[in-house]
Structure 1
Amino acid sequence: MEFVLSQPPGMDDRKRAPRRPSKAGDAKEPGWADGLRQLYNSVVHEPLPDSFDDLLKKLDRAKNERD
């Protein structure tokens, strides 16, 4: 069983449009937003833990036995 995690459109840093310069009166993005975005991206790209993969395989086997 293979799982592929994907990000919502526009969330992948490699596909994001460059930031436009801030205009007077525009709300600035908080300084922590980049850090939060990087953390989110790193978690999304982490491999599935073996224990979680084992649990999913057990659930699939149980489902197949019922069918």
Structure 2
Amino acid sequence: MKSNSSLGKGQAMPGTAKSPEEAISRRLKALYHAVEQEEIPDRFLDLLERLDAAESESTRSAKG
């Protein structure tokens, strides 16, 4: 493992967080990115389609 002695005060090694908040931010971004890459289950897509259809029907009924 390399020593941090060559880094100036307030500098972090490349790829390391400068603060706990930055570490949390990086981890949350990585988790969010992983979730974004997952496929939406067919059951969920079906539910969304049925909700859209029900909303459209409700809107049409309210207009007359």
TM-score by length of 1: 0.46
More helix per residue: 2
Q: Which has the larger radius of gyration?
A: 2
